[in-house]
Amino acid sequence: MLEQFLAINAFHFMLIFARLSVVFYLMPGISAGYVPTRIRLLLALLVTLITLPLVKDTLPPQPSGAADLVWLIIAEVLVGAFIAGITQIIMSALMLAGEVISTAAGLTNAFVDDLVSEEQTAIVIGLLNIVAVVLIFATGLHQLLFASIIDSYTLMRPGEPLITGDMLSVISSIFNQAFYMGLKLASPFLVFELLFQFANGVLSRLSPQLNVFFVALPAQNLIGMAILMISLPTLMMVFLGFFENSLENFMNPGAVNGG
C-alpha cells in the first residue's frame, strides 16, 4: 500500500512538473540568461510541491501503458508551452513599441545586449523589457501568473484531449491585442515622427543647401528621448494593465465570452 501511494504521488509530481518546468523555462524575468538554470529548476520544483495538493483532485490516475504515460507527459508539456507562450506574446507588445520608438527617436542602430530576450536589440527595447520585468515582480503581478497556472488545471485537465481549436483562438486573439497595445504604447512617437518628418521636408524645401539630416538627427534624438522620459511611467502603467487583464481573461474565459 505504501509503495502504491508513493508511486502515485511521484507520478502526480512528475505530471505537474512537466507543465510547470516549461512555464518557468519561458516565464518573463525568470527565463532570462542572468538567472542560473539551477535556480529556475529549484523554483519549478518548489512551486510543483506547493501546487500538488491544490490540484490533486484534477489529476488522472496513473496509466498502465507506457505509451499512454508518454502521451500524457507530452500533452502537459504542450499545455505548459501554451501558457508560457501567452506571456511571451503579451511581452511582445513592448518589442513592437520599442521598435517604433527607436525608429521615431533615431535610435534604431543603437544596440545593446537585452538581458530578457538574450539577444542584440535596440536600446529602447532593452529598457522597456527591463523596466516591465522589474515592475511585474515589484507590483506582485507574477502572483497572478502563478494563479493562472493553477487555474489552468481546471480549464485544461490532465488526461483530457487538448482543446487545440480554443488554444489557437486564444493565441490569435492575444496576438491581435498585443499588436494593438504595441501601437497604442508607441502612438505619441508616431505623432512625433509624422510632425518631425513633415518639418524636415518643409525645411529642406526652404533651404536646399542645408544638410537637413546632419541638423535634424541630433534634434530627433533629444526630442525623442525627452518624450520617452516623460511618457515612460504612463507607458508602463498601461502595459501592466494590459498584462493583468490578459491573464485575468485567460483565467476567466466564460466572463470574457459572456461580455
Angstrom CA distances, 125 to 27, 70, 116, 145, 179, stand at 18, 40, 10, 23, 15
CA distance 245 to 120: 30
Give pLDDT, residue 238.
Answer: 93
Across all residues in the chain, what is the average pLDDT?
81
Give pLDDT, residue 256.
Answer: 43
Query: What pLDDT digit, counting tens, does each position of 198-257 carry?
Result: 887 787 777 777 676 777 778 888 888 888 889 899 999 999 999 988 888 877 755 444
Instruction: For residue 121, give the H/E element and its range.
Output: strand 119-122
Give pLDDT, residue 239.
Answer: 93
Domain count of the fold of the chain: 1
Choice between 176 and 108, residue whose per-residue pLDDT is larger: 176
CA distance 140 to 20: 19
Query: What pLDDT digit, counting tens, does each position of 114-148 carry?
Result: 655 566 677 888 888 888 888 988 888 888 888 88
pTM over 0.75: yes
Domain that holds residue 29: 2-258
Choice between 217 and 1, residue whose per-residue pLDDT is larger: 217
Torsion angles phi and psi, residue 181, rounded to 5: -65, -40
User: Which residue from 41, 38, 49 is spatially nearest to 9, judged by alpha carbons?
Assistant: 49
